[in-house]
Chain A
Amino acid sequence: AQSVTQLDSQVPVFEEAPVELRCNYSSSVSVYLFWYVQYPNQGLQLLLKYLSGSTLVKGINGFEAEFNKSQTSFHLRKPSVHISDTAEYFCAVMRGSGGSYIPTFGRGTSLIVHP
């Protein structure tokens, strides 16, 4: 079975500053990795995903993430945040092949962008 740990429950940051949201996973097999964003009272929207290939993945809204197999991490980054980026961010892992194709989610990181 796989699991996900989001190391920070809350990340406060000022507008236009860079941000990194940390995610570590555990799995004994190859994995797919995802970052989702959830705005208040809404469902989850996919930001980006890693399936294979280049370890640097670019997503929507200027976000990117880097897959690091040796450190079993998939940290999310943005060079300059906006007020509108304030939301809950979820990292998820799914078995890469031959698995149940059910993603396991972390507990989430609340990104709070201050003016």
Chain B
Amino acid sequence: DAGVTQSPTHLIKTRGQQVTLRCSPKSGHDTVSWYQQALGQGPQFIFQYYEEEERQRGNFPDRFSGHQFPNYSSELNVNALLLGDSALYLCASSLIQPNTEAFFGQGTRLTVV
């Protein structure tokens, strides 16, 4: 079992650009959540996808959007990048029921310059 895989591992973008991050969930999982972890902080919830729909959303602007595909993999898109978007972006997969444990990927380190 490959667990949760994310790509790319590192990314450098220029302010104003757009970025897409990808996540493949753990085998058998149907729910994907995305988190932003700024340096020295805990993960902050961005949104959660289930059945290709955004199910829950945290306090993030509309510049952050996502998608879930029929095979349960997911993408996180960020438009009009700001310097403050520099962070580790974590993907977590779980089962919608019972949703009592999330498995995390290694993350994508995004640097905006």
A and B associate in one complex: yes
- Which of B43, B99, B103, B105 touches A105 (beta carbons < 8 Å)? B43
CB pair B102–A103 under 8 Å, yes or no, is yes
A-B pairs with beta carbons under 8 A, tally: 51
CB pair A101–B99 under 8 Å, yes or no, is yes
- Which of A42, A49, A90, A102 touches B101 (beta carbons < 8 Å)? A49
Docked complex: B1-33 residues within 8 A CB-CB of A: 4, 6, 33
Docked complex: B76-113 residues within 8 A CB-CB of A: 90, 92, 94, 96, 99-107, 109
- In the bound assembly, the distance between CA atoms of A103 and B41 in angstroms comes to 15
CB pair B42–A43 under 8 Å, yes or no, is no
Which residues of chain B come closer than 8 Å to A102, judged between CB atoms? 33, 45, 48, 56, 58
CB pair A108–B41 under 8 Å, yes or no, is yes
- In the bound assembly, the distance between CA atoms of A90 and B103 in angstroms comes to 14
A80 at the binding interface (Cβ < 8 Å): no
Which residues of chain B come closer than 8 Å to A105, judged between CB atoms? 42-44
- In the bound assembly, the distance between CA atoms of A92 and B104 in angstroms comes to 14
CB pair A90–B106 under 8 Å, yes or no, is no
- In the bound assembly, the distance between CA atoms of A105 and B101 in angstroms comes to 14
Docked complex: A41-61 residues within 8 A CB-CB of B: 41-46, 49, 51
- In the bound assembly, the distance between CA atoms of A108 and B105 in angstroms comes to 18
- In the bound assembly, the distance between CA atoms of A92 and B18 in angstroms comes to 31
**Chain B residues near A (Cβ < 8 Å):** 4, 6, 33, 40-45, 48, 56, 58, 90, 92, 94, 96, 99-107, 109
